[in-house]
Amino acid sequence: MAVEGTSLKKGKLGVFGIVFFVVAASAPLVGMTGAVPVAMVLGNGAATPGAYLAAGIALLIFSIGYAAMSHHVTNAGAFFAFVGRGLGMRAGVASSYASLVGYLTIQLAIYGFFGVVMNITMADYGVSLAWWVWALISWLLVTALSVLSVEVGAKILGTLLVVELLSLVIVAISIFAKGGPESMNFGASFNPSNVFAGGIAGTAGIALAFAFASFIGFEATAIYGEESSNPKRDVPKATYFAIISISILFAFVSFAMVVGMGSSKAIEEVLTRSGELADPAGVLFSLGGEYAGTWIVEIMKILVLTSLFAGLLAFQNAASRYFFAMARAGVMPKKLAVTNAAGAPQMASIVTSVIAGVIIVIFAVAELDPYLKLFSWMSGIAVIAIVAIEILVSLAVLVYFNKQAGSNVWKTKVAPLTSIVLLLGSLYLLMSRFNLLAGTVSEGVDPTLPESAWKLSSLGWFLVLSPFIAMLVGLVVASLSKSKNDALTRDFS
């Protein structure tokens, strides 16, 4: 039963509890089985590990200013409060609406993917249910866990994540220990001339776009600041730990995949092992069976499902805490700022679930494909929304610390300015290649060709612009909320 409170329970999470949530949100096993093979074929082949490392470095530079800001702002709506503190109330509210779009859509994407994978996996055991049935079953579980307590969620995510990471590391080490068909070639995967071969508008850009998309979720560390033991210490540590861990993991395991196939034949091997990309997971599974044993394959098939479920719970928590922070600031209904006896934002969690449940039902009734439509469309929107807000956060860091005497030049000026340039480049890649990422290409256009950039269908343009439409809605709400500015000022001060 809800109690009259507008504060999240403090001290429930430490550094590793926060890290578990954000690394789980990146769903590493799903990225390895889904995104990496596609990035290799459509992108830069054996140099894909370098693309993931490059994306990680760019986001690590962003995290320097982000972590510096977290010393001054502790708020469950991290981006919302960070942008508001640096750029003003209206910009903060605008960013909060776009952030909500990002977290709601990435969770919807995972629901679609989970439904598909669960349908295929359970069919092998003689259980045949539609994708949306499995999606709604997981929806019920996620709703219950998010309302119970974030601490319960952290324990579940932690256990699932440890097993998931172990399986990836075992496969990678097995490949390195036995050696692939060719000698290990670091240059093929990490030499900048290979990583950026094909140009930003071509194959290198495609690989980098998939890499940036795989990192979504790491920035959620500050969202849990109010529930951490020591937010000014825990959030910066968790941010650095999360981005470094995700970067190393993706680069290490994807490089092992290249070694296992042979760098000179990476693209050819991926196509063969995945059935011309009809089954991208077949690449990692076949390598696991070949180098570690078939037992690891059976485990990983189950772990893909637990990885997806962990991502669902992580983004449920992220979205509900945004609703909570916005309601507390007066730009959402006040009832969403109420916490229950466990200290969790109960009403905000329920609203998050209602939105997800309604959209799942709409896609089911309309018989829209859960992978080609729900997953592809929503994941494309989400990564654009988050990168756009990260640019605003970096700008807010610059503006805020410019007014503070004695600020560290590297942390508050050089790093944020560098991250703005790098993130603008990544946003350009994501938007220009949205037709490839989301399958919303104009009729008669091959999205894999460099010249197809920006050639979107009408639906594609609406989807790619939806985060910016959300920002405009936020600006309007902020402009009309003059009577509630005191609440906003308290959250941003």
Amino acid making up residue 485: N
Contacts of residue 491, defined as CB under 8 A and 6 or more positions apart, other chains included, come to 75, 77, 81, 84, 325, 328, 329
CA distance 192 to 351: 46
Q: What angle do CA 93, 98, 101 make, to 5 degrees?
A: 130
Contacts of residue 357, defined as CB under 8 A and 6 or more positions apart, other chains included, come to 136, 139
Q: What is the pLDDT of residue 133?
A: 95
In which band, very low, low, confident or very high, does the pLDDT at 277 lie, cut at 50, 70 and 90? confident
CA distance 346 to 353: 11
For tokens 């189950």, name the residue: 302
pTM of the model: 0.82
pLDDT in tens, 179-200: 989 989 999 999 998 888 876 6
In which band, very low, low, confident or very high, does the pLDDT at 425 lie, cut at 50, 70 and 90? confident
pLDDT greater at residue 109 or residue 71: 109
Report, in this order, helix, strand and coil percent for the chain, each rounded to 5: 80, 0, 20
DSSP symbol at 179: -
Q: What is the pLDDT of residue 261?
A: 95
Helices (H), 219-345: 231-261, 266-274, 281-291, 294-328
Query: Does CATH number 3.30.70.360 belong to domain 13-488?
Result: no
Domain ranges of the chain: 13-488
